[in-house]
Structure 1
Amino acid sequence: MRQANKKKILYCGIVVITLIILLHPDMNARRTYEYIEKENILNNLLEEIAENFSSTALIDCDYEDVIHDETTLSISLVDGDLIEGHKIREGGEYAPSDCKPKYSTAIIVPYRDRAEQLRGFLVYMHTFFHRQHIHYRIFVIEQVDSRPFNRAKLLNIGAVAAMKAGYPCLVLHDVDLLPLKPANLYACTERPRHMSSSINKFRFVLPYLNLFGGAIAIGSRQYKEINGMSNDYYGWGGEDDDLYSRLEAHNLKLCRFEPDTSRYHMFTHRPERKTEPRHKVLSFSKDRMSSDGLNSLKYTEVATVLHPLFTHIMVDL
């Protein structure tokens, strides 16, 4: 009897170990992928400034020091405050005063019910951006209704607002992600860029090559070309794969920076309700992308408030 129990325990142990190995994030993950070498980054960036933006600086900003910055920022910055004299304009807009920036970027953050995380994100990101010599503005798009969270639709709304403000580059950014390397320049490349390819949650390994979510940079013209993201994904999951399929359909190949430059810290949070039925919605994504996106976007704008650190757009979907 004891021998039988020992065999049963041994068998269960083998099953558990096998499952751990099979389900581990490293399985089927990509430790290496094609990326833009540091010496080629500046040649791949799109030099474009927002409409109606002008600088009185006499010299252009130098970005060689940014992309070769080996610093890793501390996550503890989220618990602090911005230094005095940060010179951030109303609505969360900033541009360096000592040099003329070559890049204008709108950071678009879909949001609901994470006030403390948002506060830390804003403090951290403004500190981060001050090291990059770019002109930027942070847009936070909050869903105020009680329906399941629709991340993609909020990103579409933010993209429309940013494009109306004249921003040529969009960074679609989750609030629970923080870039660790200032060398990860928040500017658009000629091809859409997956910025967060090395996340601590996945042990800084890319889970799969077609992943295109978390933090991405895409030119406004390209975002219009693919008709933005689908508006149909209520709940968590599927919208990033749908976005990738739109890039494929328009022959837009994504790019990345090297893994060390692309490191992010992801905060843990309560999981969102999954999209239902997300696989069915995703299977028809290419068939409806021309009619589902920016050109079918409908929502009610509840209010827009220019806070000291961000532009807050509240919407009912």
Structure 2
Amino acid sequence: MKEAGLGIGGRYEPIECRSRHKVAIVVPYRDRKDHLTVFLHYLHPFLQRQQLNYVIIIVEQSAGTPFNRGMLMNIGFNEAQLQETFECFIFHDVDFLPEDDSNPYTCPEDGRPRQMSFSIDYWDNYKPTPRSHFGGVTALSTADFRRINGYSNSFWGWGGEDDQLFQRVKFNNLTVVRSFDEQPLLVHKARYKTQSHQKAQPNPDRKQVLAEGNVRFQIDGLFDLKYQRLNLQFKPLYTHLLVNIQPGPIKS
């Protein structure tokens, strides 16, 4: 990968042309080393074949508190902006692998965030997920992510943060699009394979937090993000952030 032009910190920019898109791939992470190894060795060549200017940022949550996927996404966004300017962000689960090179990892238009992983192997053998599904792999312009105040920081444990992200998008009058919406015969190119893993225990409070979320859209997210950066390393295949986060009182 180094010979192909991959720079330290998982940073790549094509030499033979100027990419039209500068993308940050943010991956929330904890205790999934095997998945991460496969993900990195698979996704780098995939992104390079699309001649993208990109970086892969792995945001790892330290032990001691329930996993908070939404907050890790917000942290990745915030820390990336401290390094350089990106036009858009792709928020990417570590176990999802795009199957076809034609699946574009380019930046979406402002006002039109893209749901990318809507055709998934485990979902009824690639049957498209419901239109309200907005998770797994999603792409938003930097301006749109700021506009919706990012993810909620209030979901500790599995589930809920993607559903509220969709609510935030709709609340701000953004239109969720899918790859190949205008070319339905090519929908098979947007398929994703998932690496097998044990399903996490659902958060029993997620439905209540989700139901109350609309009164906190403006104050729960990037606006009130608090975390402790324990370490920042620019590794050969990715930028690694280790952070400590703690639950706080839910604002209303």
State whether TM-score is above 0.5.
Answer: yes
**Pairing partner for 1:224 from 146, 153, 165:** 146
Mapped pair 1:137 → 2:16: no
The superposition leaves residues 234-263 of structure 1 with CA deviations (integer Å, 9 ceiling, x where unpaired) of: 100111000000001100010011321211
Whichever structure has more helix as a proportion of its residues is: 1
* Structure 1, unpaired ranges of 5+: 1-81
Residue 168 of structure 1, CA deviation: 1.4
Aligned positions, number: 235
2:137 maps to 1:215: yes
Aligned match of 1:256: 178
Q: Please tell me whether the aligned partners of residues 234 and 276 of structure 1 are also in contact (alpha carbons under 8 angstroms).
A: no
Question: For the residues of structure 2 that align with 1:158 and 1:280, how far apart are their CA atoms?
Answer: 26
- By how many angstroms is 1:87 displaced? 1.4
CA displacement at 1:306 relative to structure 2: 0.3
SS at match of 1:260: helix
1:266 paired with 2:188, answer: no
Answer yes or no: is 1:109 the counterpart of 2:27. yes
Please show how residues 153-172 of structure 1 align to structure 2 within 5 Å: 153-164=71-82, 165-172=84-91
Q: Tell me how far 1:273 sits from its aligned partner.
A: 2.5
* Counterpart position of 2:216: 288
Partner of 1:92: 10
TM-score normalised to structure 1 length: 0.73
1:200 maps to 2:128: no
- Take 2:165 and 2:77, find their aligned partners in 1: how far apart are those partners? 14
Counterparts in 2 of 1:1-317, with a 5 A limit?
A: 82=1, 85-164=3-82, 165-190=84-109, 191-202=112-123, 203-258=125-180, 259-317=187-245
SS at match of 1:109: strand
Contact kept? 2:104, 2:179, Cα under 8 Å? no
Preserved CA contact (<8 Å) 1:163 1:220: no
Structure 2 stretches of 5 or more lacking a match?
Answer: 181-186, 246-252
Structure with higher Rg: it is 1
The two structures, once aligned, show a CA RMSD in angstroms of 1.0
Write the distance in 2 (CA, Å) between the matches of 1:295 and 1:287: 14
Q: CA deviation at 1:181?
A: 1.1
Check conservation: 2:113, 2:175, Cα contact below 8 A.
yes
| CA distance in structure 2 between the aligned counterparts of 1:167 and 1:217, rounded to whole angstroms | 12
AA matched with 2:58:
V
Deviant stretches of 4+, over 6 Å:
none
TM-score (norm 2): 0.91
